[in-house]
Amino acid sequence: MNQKSTLSEPANAAPAASGKKNRLILLFLPVLIAVLLLLVPVPAGLEPHAWRFFAIFVGVIVGLIFEPLPGAVIGLTGVVAIALFSHWLLFSPAELADPKFKVATESFKWAVSGFGNSTVWLIFGAFMFAAGYDKTQFGRRLALILVKYLGRRSLTLGYAITFADLLLAPFTPSNTARSGGTIYPIIANLPPLYGSKPNDPSARKIGSYLMWVAITAACITSSMFLSALAPNLLALALVKSIVGFDISWGMWFLAFLPLGVLLILTMPLLAYWFYPPEVKVNDEVPRWAASELEKLGKLSRNEILLLVFVCCALLMWIFATAWIEPAMAALLVIVLMLWTGVLNWNDITSNKPAWNTFAWFATLVALADGLARVGFIAWLGKQGGMLLHGIDPQVAAVMLLIAFFLLHYLFASTTAHTTALLPAMLTVAASIPGINMPVFCLMLSTSLGVMGIITPYGTGPSPIYYGSGYLPTKDYWRLGTIFGAIFLAALMLIGYPWMVMMF
């Protein structure tokens, strides 16, 4: 026995060594990219310190794409590196020549500036709402109610899943948490009731259809609400920083409303046509949902309080922005949840995803603001404007929008996509006379959710449903292409004219 154990050690050690080697390569890659860019001659018209800042920024983006370390660690590393070498990366010669300019103080102020951003705090607040949904089981109750009343037919069950995501989306800033924490755990119980098994031909009975509807619904609702996807809030901060245009919760909702309603109402049916389930009717699912609801019992005090609080937050986000900052409204609701016992302080301090996202987005906001601070964004806009000179503004806007959407094939993170491409697209568009910037900003921002459908890695929930065993690789890529084309066409043919009319 000992001999067998000893002989197996090299075989076990080989994968571990290989994994360690790959991780070292991925750790080295962002540094290598940044160094190579630092060695490239500074482009004409750009200050040397701005080019060096951009080199570090690209290194951070590469790190976010391949993730050799958590995103928050990568972002914090970039901010700290720039602050430490701010003489060469952050400040202009004119600033450094000013005897009253305190380099150390200003470096630190810039490094922590993202932590004072209201959008970052709004993201944090929304994560606390999601914690309330999870702790009180109110989110699970909503989904089960819909399944109970709509679950007899496969098509209506698809609508039940879609409406469940729709109800949770405004208060859950992470579609990964929404899908992985509430929607997927419920629908994973449904296919076995039909004899539909993962990684098996029986998957097509109904499991494949349900999983595809769920990921598609998550993408649509992520675009429909400003607070349904964390990168949406990052996009809001970038738009305000680069263009100076404020997007409110109500403006976002109104901009995407006709397209969102149309997609919500038609998507389960489209999935039913393009990826039909073999089983059309089953009485077992509503009975299962009814039994699960019986276990939950009546609405608890905390569920009722949570419902009241999130509705109040939603009303403040839509109608009271002139009197209370949205982030402050979220903090107010958190305080009320703490005082009434819906959450306790340990729920706040132990919420690792919330604090991780808080640190991650704070550093990304600082880095994106830094690009504007050093003058890189202005230079990029000038160059992009020259490149598109002479092209009709509407044609240029459409070209940029399509490019922004399709380039998501290169990203496994909507956050990385937003951070890397949104500032560049906004800057180029702003330099072209005649482009309707409010509409362009809304089109770019609201596309962040729906573009996640195109690949099995395009958004947080994608790996969850792709890894369920119900969506074979060839089916996922085929359906991703079909629905991605539908979403992009709908954005252009319905969303764009509507936004032009409204804004």
Whether residues 110 and 255 fall in one domain: no
Show which of 80, 114, 148 is a domain's final residue.
114
Domain containing 214 equals: 119-343+375-502
Residue 368 forms part of a structural domain: no
Phi and psi angles of residue 298, each rounded to the nearest 5 degrees, phi first: -75, 165
pLDDT band at 4 (very low <50, low <70, confident <90, very high): very low
pLDDT band at 84 (very low <50, low <70, confident <90, very high): very high
pLDDT digits (tens, 9 = 90+) for 12-26: 555 566 667 777 888
How does DSSP classify residue 299?
P
Whether residues 178 and 50 fall in one domain: no
pLDDT digits (tens, 9 = 90+) for 179-209: 876 788 778 878 887 888 998 999 999 999 9
Q: What is the mean pLDDT of residues 216-232?
A: 94
One-letter amino acid identity for 193?
L
Residue 229 forms part of a structural domain: yes
What pLDDT is attached to residue 313? 84
Whether residues 269 and 158 fall in one domain: yes
Whether residues 65 and 165 fall in one domain: no
Q: Which residue has the tokens 């709402």?
A: 129
Whether residues 66 and 153 fall in one domain: no
DSSP-derived 3-state class of residue 281? strand
Strand partners, 281: 153
Are the CB atoms for 377 and 423 separated by under 8 Å? yes
| Whether pLDDT at 61 is above 50 | yes
Whether residues 89 and 143 fall in one domain: no
Number of domains in the chain: 2
Q: What is the mean pLDDT of residues 115-142?
A: 82
Show which of 63, 85, 114 is a domain's final residue.
114
What pLDDT is attached to residue 402? 93
Show which of 88, 114, 140 is a domain's final residue.
114
How does DSSP classify residue 99?
T
Q: Which two three-digit tokens encode residue 387?
A: 């490149």
Residue 440 forms part of a structural domain: yes
Phi and psi angles of residue 467, each rounded to the nearest 5 degrees, phi first: -85, 5
What pLDDT is attached to residue 166? 94
Whether residues 58 and 188 fall in one domain: no
pLDDT band at 466 (very low <50, low <70, confident <90, very high): confident
Residue 11 forms part of a structural domain: no
Residue 352 forms part of a structural domain: no
Whether residues 234 and 323 fall in one domain: yes
Are the CB atoms for 172 and 235 separated by under 8 Å? no
Whether residues 54 and 192 fall in one domain: no
Residue 285 forms part of a structural domain: yes
* 195 against 405, higher pLDDT: 405
pLDDT digits (tens, 9 = 90+) for 272-323: 999 999 988 878 888 888 998 999 999 999 999 998 998 888 788 777 877 8
Whether residues 110 and 145 fall in one domain: no
Q: What is the mean pLDDT of residues 369-382?
A: 82
What pLDDT is attached to residue 203? 93
Quote the Cα angle for 43-47-52, to 5°: 80
What pLDDT is attached to residue 181? 67
Residue 442 forms part of a structural domain: yes
Whether residues 245 and 218 fall in one domain: yes
Q: Which two three-digit tokens encode residue 415?
A: 């956050």
Q: How many CB atoms lie within 10 A of CB 352?
A: 8
Are the CB atoms for 430 and 160 separated by under 8 Å? no
* 365 against 257, higher pLDDT: 257
What pLDDT is attached to residue 126? 72
What pLDDT is attached to residue 369? 81
| Whether pLDDT at 70 is above 90 | no
Q: Which two three-digit tokens encode residue 362?
A: 């704070």
Helix/strand/coil percentages in the chain, nearest 5: 80, 0, 20
CA-CA distance, 79 to 371, in Å (whole number)? Answer: 12
Q: What is the mean pLDDT of the chain?
A: 88
Q: Which two three-digit tokens encode residue 126?
A: 């929304």
Whether residues 125 and 273 fall in one domain: yes
